Structure 1
Amino acid sequence: MTRMQELSRNYPWLVTTIGIGLLGALLAMSGQQISTRWIFVLYALVVVAVQAVGMIKDMIAGKFGLDILAVVAIIATLLVGEYVALMIIILMITGGEALEDYASRRAKKDLSDLLDHAPREARVVTSDGIRIVPSEHVKPGDVVLIRPKEVAPVDGVLSSAHAAFDQSTLTGESIPVEKSTGDPVYSGTVNGQQAVEVTATHTVATSQYQQIVDLIKGAEEDQAPTVRLADRFAVPFTILSLAIAGTAWAISGDPTRFAQVLVLATPCPLLIAAPVAFISGMSRAARNKVIVKNGGVLEELSRAQSVYFDKTGTLTQGHPTIVDVRPADEFLSARELLLLAASAEQYSSHVLANAVLEAAKRRRLPLLTGDHAREEATNGVTAVLQGREVIVGKYEYVREHASDARAAHTQPGEVAIYVAVDGRFGGVIVARDKLRASARATVEHLRELGVAHTALVTGDAHATADYIAAQAGIETVYAQCLPADKVAIVTEATPRPIVMIGDGINDTPALAKADVGIAMGARGATAASQTADAVVLADDIAPVAAAVHIAQDTMRIARQSIWVGIVLSVVLMLIAAFGVIPATAGALTQEIVDLVAILAALRALGSRKQDGRFGGPGSVRSGGFLLSDEPSTAHPGLRPGVSAWRLTGLP
């Protein structure tokens, strides 16, 4: 496709306008001025008709946008016979759309990088050799050959002995991750220096990378909130412009003066500035490993007053490790307790289940197959394993099935996983999860950005929750929360807007209820990622502060860009009201205003240097933290059993 064909396909109105203008110029130079005027008039009527149809549809829908000015300006110049200015206005409108598209493409570059990275083909190993198929045709169980430097097409497990994969696209990890047989391999990651085989566990559609691609496509397509910002200025700007133009006409008695003013009031700066700024901000957020689903999310983030965190996988690393296995009685050994617990936990999606499974894997325990299994979100899992009923989960959940269950003593930062076997208390498995290195710095950065209140909302016991919150510098703690409790807390939370950050299925209702829900999505596609307004692609909490910083920057630049366009247009309209600026010169001047507005909005793209302060991992500092003697009264209507505490002594 030639460059001209590409332009014609992408910008048909702009190309047509230029073609009509050149034709009219040629006719005028050959002495056929009347033909030129009729061509310009007929084309202007077509453009007015198209613009008017869109304007009427918007007005019927209750939207009064800036296209009213465009239609009035074209009609005014047409009626006063300013044919050259007429074509410049049309060129300005169609060219403005083209400039906006170009600026949007420039701003979307970082969003598009992941889309371009998606693998298209896969090499499936069969008994007849290697067969190249579209990646969409790969099924779970297929063995896929991934050559050096190739991208994994689907999620799977490593079949080869060793491998190293670059996961920076998904998690932000700059160093390739070493893997051995049985380790997970994620779609979208890049293989190292040797060819390896991977057994697919998902299709392309259900793989992690495709879910991220879907989020990006949604972010690119959902631009409605960006228009609302400009439309807030539409009615007053339209009224002011018509008032200035009408006054100039009334005082001078010259209708041409009306057209001269309105050509400088065409709304391209407003139409372009807001979308370009928001798209730039979304692109900048993507560069910082945060996919923001639409511009409205950036607007809410910029005003965030409260940030509520989940604990496991959000503030903590989400990689808890088993540190102790404590059988309750002699009827089970430590090995049997871990084996039964792991066999049941293979049917659970909770992060603690993965810790138990990893512990069993390290000890090479052969897992039992379940005859029946059922998971109760946030509480635990029940499984029938070779005729034995095994229940694994929280203390309250296990005690319902084993009345002899006893609460375990744990150290701060540890969590107890309780096990019951055939109605008897089997024992406790103790896990520990570390605070993320960047957690405390992220909380401090959020305060610097104007966030007034932070809280930890978790299903863990208050001793563990208090310990983590104190390390992170979080003010308020809500512990032992069920999903319904989290929703109640988020619903009643003040001050607002409130941002909720989580990573699990149990966080999904709260994420949906928050003004902005942010999912920690680096480890795979979850219900949280689909429900959330924004998704953190890095396995780190620091991008949350970066996202708030970027949102504030974007809103500031969007407003500045709009006001730059308004002020320049109003100043030029006032000058034109005195007849100083002819209509043709005014139309050309307005093009400069458009360019200024675009360049001003593109500042929202920012730079890596600007974002570095909020994007890097912080250090965890110890300090003197005390729990207040009284529970927090922020939410007196909470379900009995939910612990809510306010931390004091924060430096």
Structure 2
Amino acid sequence: MISNRLNVVLLAIALVGLLAGLGLLVADFTELATYTWTVGVLPVLAALVIEIARSLRKGEVGLDIVAALSMAAALVFGETLAAAVVALMYSGGTYLESFAEGRARREMSNLLSRVPRTATRHRNGALDEVPLDDIKPNDLLLIRQGDIAPVDGTLESDRAMLDQSALTGEAMPVRLARGDDIMSGSTNSGEAYDLRATLPAAQSTYAGIVRLVEAAQKSKAPMARLADRYSLLFLVVTVVVATAAWWFTGDPIRAVAVLVVATPCPLILAVPVALVAGLSRAAHYGALIKGAKPLEALAGIQTLILDKTGTLTDGRPQIVSIQSHGVLSEDEILYFAAALDQGSKHPIAQAIVAAAQARDIVLPIPLDIVETPGDGVRGTVDGRRILVGGLNFVMEQVGASSSSAAPQEPGAILVALAVDGQLAGHLVMADALRSGTSELLTGLRRTGIKRILLATGDRRAVAEAVTEGLGFDAICSDLTPDQKVRLVLSERENGPVMMVGDGVNDAPALAAANIGVAMGVRGTAASAEAADMVLLVDRLSPLLSGIEVAQGARRIALESVIAGIGLSFAGMIAAALGYLSPVQGALFQEVIDAAVILNALRALRIKPRETTLAAIQDVTRPKSQEQ
């Protein structure tokens, strides 16, 4: 491909040559005008011939040959003005295509341009500006207002306000509390905060996103490859029509006009612009697609297979309900349990603390903490003896029977609380279904997906309890990773399959699917590597947006191709019959090329349906945030 800088030079030469020749023609210097047009055409023709030779060495045959033939034929038969118009048209079209693709890549390029190079690290009571490669897990970083989080980490300050619009497309800032996860690439739109690094910069979410963007920008879709193959057919048809026009009329100028009107081809221009615009637009809505090929495949998915834990559910224990066995209220039960659990690193204990913080409950410092690993914690809160832990453990300690507690639902965990030796209540915890999932599945079916299946390694009873009422076509439980792969392969016999997952155990199934989708925030590196599409936020709504954008981009590409090729063929026939001169044919084709490129750029304005846009704000919000 001719470089952008050379494109500008060739465009300038062709434009100056054409205008100078027209000026000389008006001044009645006909021969000098002809010479000037020829001089303006030759550099463009030479660069084109070199580019064609490079393509042929790679085994690629494109419509650049038609452009070269039309310019050469116009010069040979004395149609130097037509040759000058074709030279301007070719160089201008190539520049316009390059500009359009650059415009289409804007969202993804913005991701690349925002990569921070250094970070401010706390060290020995001072602040040091260090390169990203020097950041290690557990380092404490200062993120000033306007700074971009350079690595994944957890919030060490009380509050933070983050702008994630560059990653998710959401305009509204997100408010986080102490202990919440922060995704690298988020911009600090509030006061400065401290970030505890959990991963090195090279392994952070944002670094992975950058690698995916770079790979996506180098990809080529099947539709684009199909356009390359059809370009050879178009070339043959063009030469045949031009030769026939010359043969039957004896007028070589008609052959020149046919060649001119076929240069270049909308088949080549429209497809890459529309698909790259689709990639950019999908990234704007939080769905990073790894290239034009998966974007095109995404538009035709027939079957969707969803993992459960961390995908359909939040993947972390959430408080479903709080029940009292005495005089304490729900907030008081949560207050005492969370206060004592501050002294434990157990995931369930941390989830209880996070739930209290989400309700803005101020927690006191617990005293005399004694933890029995895997069972529970005892200590003193506000002068009262508190015991928090598993149901059986707490019941044994207070001398009560576990039958006094509520029956445990499939997949749920009961955390009991005792105050001053008496059972005070319990918290029901579960890996809760993401809120709005039913609406999301309805939206996915609306896009043309015919079958939606659940694939999980959990027990059947747990899977059915979590997905009750969602209308899955099938629930496949107790699956090992290789069984998930076999499920994907069997479903592929019925049409293209999409698999969505987040864990290491999902990676083989993601690779086996036509389209693998990974949860990019807390999903594993293995699943993101195996996937064709990564969701940049910890929810499923970008999946729906990505499918609708992919379908829109593919539709626009096809519209551009059909309309452009139809007009090109009509122009060729008109030229062969003598209704278009070479100059008129060149101008006509230039109008076609500009029209199909502008039409392809419509993909930059694709918007998911109103229900999808609403879902971006609400769908798949964890239930704990609704309490």
Query: Normalising by structure 2, what TM-score?
Result: 0.77
Structure 2 match to 1:501: 500
Question: CA-to-partner distance for each residue in 1:361-394, whole Å, 9 max, x for gaps?
Answer: 999878999xxxxxxxxxxxxxxxxxxxxxxxxx
Structure 2 match to 1:222: 219
Structure 1 match to 2:513: 514
Q: Distance in 2 between matches of 1:167 and 1:598?
A: 31
CA 1:43–1:116 in structure 2 vs 1: closer, same or farther (change >3 Å)?
Answer: closer
Structure 2 match to 1:117: 114
Are 1:440 and 2:438 matched, yes or no? yes
Q: Distance in 1 between matches of 2:370 and 2:217?
A: 47
CA 1:366–1:603 in structure 2 vs 1: closer, same or farther (change >3 Å)?
Answer: farther
Are 1:480 and 2:478 matched, yes or no? yes
Query: Normalising by structure 1, what TM-score?
Result: 0.74
Which of the residues 426, 437, 456 maps onto 1:458? Answer: 456
CA 1:487–1:359 in structure 2 vs 1: closer, same or farther (change >3 Å)?
Answer: same
Q: Distance in 2 between matches of 1:16 and 1:205?
A: 45
CA 1:276–1:367 in structure 2 vs 1: closer, same or farther (change >3 Å)?
Answer: farther
Structure 1 match to 2:397: none
CA 1:79–1:438 in structure 2 vs 1: closer, same or farther (change >3 Å)?
Answer: farther
Tell me the CA shift for residue 21 of structure 1: 4.3
- Decide which moves more: 454-463 or 71-80: 71-80
Are 1:79 and 2:81 matched, yes or no? no
Are 1:239 and 2:224 matched, yes or no? no
Are 1:272 and 2:269 matched, yes or no? yes
Query: 2:201 is paired with a residue of what secondary structure?
Result: coil
Q: Distance in 2 between matches of 1:466 and 1:74?
A: 69
Query: 2:454 is paired with a residue of what secondary structure?
Result: strand
Structure 2 match to 1:381: none
Cα RMSD of the aligned pairs, angstroms, is 3.5
CA 1:605–1:170 in structure 2 vs 1: closer, same or farther (change >3 Å)?
Answer: closer
Q: Distance in 2 between matches of 1:501 and 1:415?
A: 26
Q: Distance in 1 between matches of 2:4 and 2:372?
A: 63
Structure 2 match to 1:256: 253
Alignment check: 8 A CA contact 1:110 1:287 kept:
yes
Structure 1 match to 2:91: 94
Tell me the CA shift for residue 294 of structure 1: 1.1
Instruction: Give, as a single letter, the amino acid of the residue that structure 2 aligns with 1:189.
Output: S
Question: CA-to-partner distance for each residue in 1:496-539, whole Å, 9 max, x for gaps?
Answer: 11111111111111000100111111336621112111111122
Structure 1 match to 2:283: 286
**Number of equivalenced pairs:** 539
Alignment check: 8 A CA contact 2:159 2:175 kept:
no
Alignment check: 8 A CA contact 2:503 2:524 kept:
no
CA 1:36–1:16 in structure 2 vs 1: closer, same or farther (change >3 Å)?
Answer: closer
Instruction: Give, as a single letter, the amino acid of the residue that structure 1 aligns with 2:438.
Output: R
Structure 2 match to 1:131: 128
Q: Distance in 1 between matches of 2:438 and 2:587?
A: 53
Tell me the CA shift for residue 483 of structure 1: 0.8
Q: Distance in 2 between matches of 1:290 and 1:310?
A: 18
Instruction: Give, as a single letter, the amino acid of the residue that structure 2 aligns with 1:602.
Output: L
Tell me the CA shift for residue 186 of structure 1: 3.0
Tell me the CA shift for residue 220 of structure 1: 2.0
Question: CA-to-partner distance for each residue in 1:583-637, whole Å, 9 max, x for gaps?
Answer: 11211221111111112211222344x44333433779xxxxxxxxxxxxxxxxx
Query: 1:309 is paired with a residue of what secondary structure?
Result: strand
Instruction: Give, as a single letter, the amino acid of the residue that structure 2 aligns with 1:582.
Output: S
CA 1:410–1:246 in structure 2 vs 1: closer, same or farther (change >3 Å)?
Answer: farther
Structure 2 match to 1:567: 566
CA 1:539–1:49 in structure 2 vs 1: closer, same or farther (change >3 Å)?
Answer: same
Tell me the CA shift for residue 46 of structure 1: 1.3
Tell me the CA shift for residue 163 of structure 1: 3.6
Are 1:491 and 2:489 matched, yes or no? yes
Which of the residues 178, 202, 216 maps onto 1:205? Answer: 202
Query: 2:494 is paired with a residue of what secondary structure?
Result: coil
- Decide which moves more: 141-150 or 443-452: 141-150
Alignment check: 8 A CA contact 1:460 1:481 kept:
yes
Are 1:56 and 2:53 matched, yes or no? no
Instruction: Give, as a single letter, the amino acid of the residue that structure 1 aligns with 2:144.
Output: R
Q: Distance in 2 between matches of 1:559 and 1:286?
A: 22
Instruction: Give, as a single letter, the amino acid of the residue that structure 2 aligns with 1:546.
Output: S
Q: Distance in 1 between matches of 2:252 and 2:274?
A: 37
Alignment check: 8 A CA contact 1:500 1:518 kept:
yes
Question: CA-to-partner distance for each residue in 1:560-598, whole Å, 9 max, x for gaps?
Answer: 100111111111111111222111121122111111111
Instruction: Give, as a single letter, the amino acid of the residue that structure 2 aligns with 1:585.
Output: Q
5+ residue gaps, structure 2: 322-336, 357-364, 374-406, 416-426, 621-627
Percent identity of equivalent pairs: 36
Structure 1 match to 2:331: none
Question: CA-to-partner distance for each residue in 1:307-338, whole Å, 9 max, x for gaps?
Answer: 111111211122323789xxxxxxxxxxxxx9
Alignment check: 8 A CA contact 1:167 1:189 kept:
yes
Instruction: Give, as a single letter, the amino acid of the residue that structure 2 aligns with 1:307.
Output: L
CA 1:116–1:355 in structure 2 vs 1: closer, same or farther (change >3 Å)?
Answer: farther
Structure 2 match to 1:467: 465
5+ residue gaps, structure 1: 1-5, 325-337, 347-352, 370-408, 418-428, 621-651
CA 1:485–1:11 in structure 2 vs 1: closer, same or farther (change >3 Å)?
Answer: farther
CA 1:245–1:524 in structure 2 vs 1: closer, same or farther (change >3 Å)?
Answer: same
Q: Distance in 2 between matches of 1:115 and 1:44?
A: 33
Tell me the CA shift for residue 360 of structure 1: 9.2
In the TM superposition, 1:582-601 aligns within 5 A as 582-601=581-600
Tell me the CA shift for residue 77 of structure 1: 2.0
Q: Distance in 1 between matches of 2:137 and 2:510?
A: 31
- Decide which moves more: 82-91 or 532-541: 82-91
- Decide which moves more: 144-153 or 303-312: 144-153
Q: Distance in 1 between matches of 2:561 and 2:147?
A: 45
CA 1:304–1:582 in structure 2 vs 1: closer, same or farther (change >3 Å)?
Answer: same
CA 1:561–1:541 in structure 2 vs 1: closer, same or farther (change >3 Å)?
Answer: same
Which of the residues 136, 147, 150 maps onto 1:150? Answer: 147
Query: 2:578 is paired with a residue of what secondary structure?
Result: coil
Question: CA-to-partner distance for each residue in 1:331-363, whole Å, 9 max, x for gaps?
Answer: xxxxxxx9xxx9xx99xxxxxx85576469999
Instruction: Give, as a single letter, the amino acid of the residue that structure 2 aligns with 1:461.
Output: R
- Decide which moves more: 611-620 or 568-577: 611-620
In the TM superposition, 1:359-374 aligns within 5 A as none
Alignment check: 8 A CA contact 1:44 1:74 kept:
no
CA 1:44–1:544 in structure 2 vs 1: closer, same or farther (change >3 Å)?
Answer: closer
Q: Distance in 2 between matches of 1:51 and 1:140?
A: 49
Tell me the CA shift for residue 274 of structure 1: 0.4
Query: 2:271 is paired with a residue of what secondary structure?
Result: helix
Q: Distance in 2 between matches of 1:254 and 1:415?
A: 87
Instruction: Give, as a single letter, the amino acid of the residue that structure 2 aligns with 1:143.
Output: L
Tell me the CA shift for residue 543 of structure 1: 2.0
Alignment check: 8 A CA contact 2:279 2:292 kept:
yes
Alignment check: 8 A CA contact 2:301 2:449 kept:
yes
